[in-house]
Amino acid sequence: MASSQNQPTPAHELKTLVLSFHSLIAVETVEEERVDQLIKVVSKELQLKRYTWSITQGLVRHDEPKATVPRTNQPMGLLQHLATLDEGIFLLKDLHPHLKDPAVIRQFRELTQRFAKNHASMVLTGPSLNLPPEIDAEAVFYDLQLPNSDELYEALQAVVRSLNTKQEIRIDLEAADLGAVLKALAGLTLNQARQIIAYAALSDNSLSKDDLADIQARKIKFLQEGGLLEYFPAEDNANEIGGFQVLKDWLERAQQGFSSEAESLNLNPPKGIMIVGIQGCGKSLSAKVTAKRWGLPLLKLEAGRLYDKYVGESEKNFRKATSMAESMAPAVLWIDEIEKAFAQSQSSDSGTSRRLFGAFLTWLQEKRADIFVIATANDLSQLPPELMRKGRFDEIFFVDLPKPEAREVIFKIHLNRRKQNPEQFDLPLLVEATDGYSGAEIEQAVVAGLYRALHLGVSLNTAILQEEISSTVPLSVSRREDVELLRATAVERFVSVD
């Protein structure tokens, strides 16, 4: 198995921090076991003693003979004992909730300063580390990335060895198949990967390329349980949209950016597009159509899901969401109502929206995975001007109310979808009657007309649709001022989708 292309391993990165006199290393992660293993490797390489602490067990010394140090269950007792030591690596599990008492904080700071002069490092770990300001200033936060292909390969081998002690598991993977399995496992924690591998192997006592679909499906389930991303398989996305010809042509050209020919010319793949416009006119549908045309899965991120009441958690949610998306590459990432994440008016959120905005721009500029971003927005006034600067996205498109030709296509799509023959309707009359209507309003007229026809016990006809249309007040009328302002702002600045 080839090593990860010149990328420093997690153990190497942690070793570097220890050697560079970082006495307090904070690791936010749920993979406690993985941190323990990394420390085990580093302590062995550096010939340093290894210790582990938890409130339930106290301080455990892992050299020979392994032993628990008395009177170290409580934080002050732990810190007082550590003050008698000169070297070692100390894994402190979930200590941060106990760092509230001023005496404990003072003792901890003095210990941190003392260890900085010796070969000693404390590694704080927990799912979310909210440290007091006095301690936060002393800490270096180490971003433990999700397992790379080497780690996943080792996990796969370990699972198979473990299962083989109880029953024989046959491995039937060519090199290419193994690469595909490891790619399917990317983006998962080691524990999640082990569970998926074990389930796939135990289902038929073998691990082969036939398990790929099941591995991918279980991975998606894990990702969706995180609550940040919604997954739409390529085959489930819509493939029809009325109008949008300019956008369709642009997407056809942009798809070439992911080809080997483009790579040979040192052309970077397209980053993504923003689509702004009137509600109900197809912005969301265009994201689904793009994924369908390109044969890629669609990942939906609702910006409102990122926010958390605790400082720093929103940014962590964003990093988690983008990491999940990259693990599914190649894919289309649809950020719905992006203005809700970066609204200029959010002045009372302690700067969270600005930090999220900065993180998003950095990620969009530097991302390496084949993730095509489609950001949709309804309210231009809420978007930071920097987001609409040329070069942030490959292009910014404006979606206006559908033209007559597009309205006719929209009627045909929704009539066909509901088993109605469009040729049995006076489409020119219906198109004229829906001047100023959005695509969503046309769809709703068809749906409401069908309900009315079912109630009357007759087939849907032009007259029923006309009645439904006439009883609808479109957005272009009910919110005329807002629509006209949006059109005036966007028409001269952005590219029309038609």
Residue type, 268: N
Q: How many helices (H) and strands (E) does the chain have?
A: 21, 16
Distance, first Cα to last Cα, the chain = 50
| pLDDT for the residue numbered 275 | 94
> Mean of the pLDDT values across residues 15-36?
93
Residue 3 pLDDT class (50, 70, 90 cuts): very low
Which of 295, 276, 286 is CA-nearest to residue 250? 286
Q: How far is the C-alpha of 477 from the C-alpha of 122, rounded, in Å?
A: 64
User: What tokens appear for 24 in the block?
Assistant: 């307090």
Pairing of the two strands 67-69 and 58-61: antiparallel
Report the range of poorest mean pLDDT among 19-23, 97-101, 162-166, 457-461.
Answer: 162-166
Distance CA 82, CA 96 (A): 16
Instruction: Give residue-wise pLDDT tens across range 118-137.
Output: 889 999 999 888 899 999 98
Assign 343 a pLDDT band (cuts: 50, 70, 90).
Answer: low
The answer to whether residue 73 scores a pLDDT higher than 80 is yes
Quick check: 216 pLDDT over 90? no
pLDDT at 15 over 50: yes
Q: State the pLDDT at residue 2.
A: 37
Report the pLDDT value the prediction gives residue 119, as an integer from 0 to 100: 82
- Report residue 417's pLDDT band, with 50, 70 and 90 as the boundaries: very high
Q: Kindly state the tokens that stand for 110.
A: 């003095």
pLDDT exceeds 70 at position 345: no
The DSSP line for 324-388 is: HHHHT-SEEEEEETTHHHH-TT-TTSTTHHHHHHHHHHHHHHH--S-EEEEEEES-GGGS-GGGG
pLDDT for 1: 36
CB-based contacts of 378, cutoff 8 Å, min separation 6? 276, 277, 278, 279, 283, 337, 339
Residue 140's SS3 state is strand
Encoded tokens for 413: 């799509």
Average the pLDDT over 237-260 and give the result: 87
Query: Which helix (DSSP H) or strand (DSSP E) does residue 230 occupy?
Result: strand 229-232
| Cα three-residue angle 241-243-249, rounded to 5 degrees | 95
Task: Tell me the pLDDT band of 309, cut-offs 50, 70 and 90.
Answer: low
How far does CA 26 lie from the centroid of its chain? 23
- What is residue 311's predicted lDDT score, i.e. its pLDDT? 56
Report yes or no: 60 and 51 within 8 Å, Cβ to Cβ: yes
What is the rounded average pLDDT of the residues 201-211?
Answer: 87
pLDDT digits (tens, 9 = 90+) for 158-197: 898 888 888 888 888 888 888 888 888 888 889 999 999 9
Report the percent of the chain where pLDDT is more than 90. Answer: 50
What average pLDDT does the structure give for the chain?
Answer: 88
pLDDT tens sequence across 359-391: 888 888 888 788 999 999 888 878 888 888 878
At 35, phi and psi to the nearest 5? Answer: -60, -40
The interaxial angle of helices 32-46 and 10-19, nearest 10 deg, is 60
Give 422-449 pLDDT, tens digit per residue.
999 999 999 999 999 999 999 999 999 9
Distance between CA atoms of 363 and 365, rounded to whole angstroms? 5
pLDDT at site 378: 86
What are the distances in angstroms from CA 6 to CA 12, 285, 414? Answer: 12, 41, 53
User: DSSP readout, 8-64?
Assistant: PPHHHHHHHHHHTT--EEEEE-S-HHHHHHHHHHHHHHHT--EEEEETTTEEEE-SS
DSSP state of 243: S
- Residues 140-158 have a mean pLDDT of 89
Residue 407's pLDDT is 94
With 60 as the cut, is the pLDDT of residue 23 above it?
yes
What confidence tens digit (pLDDT) does each residue in 217-243 have? 888 888 777 778 888 877 766 677 888
Find all residues with CB under 8 Å of 415, minimum gap 6, and list them: 421, 422, 425, 446
Q: In this predicted structure, what is the pLDDT of residue 310? A: 57
Q: Rounded to 5, what percent of the chain is helix, strand, coil? A: 50, 15, 35
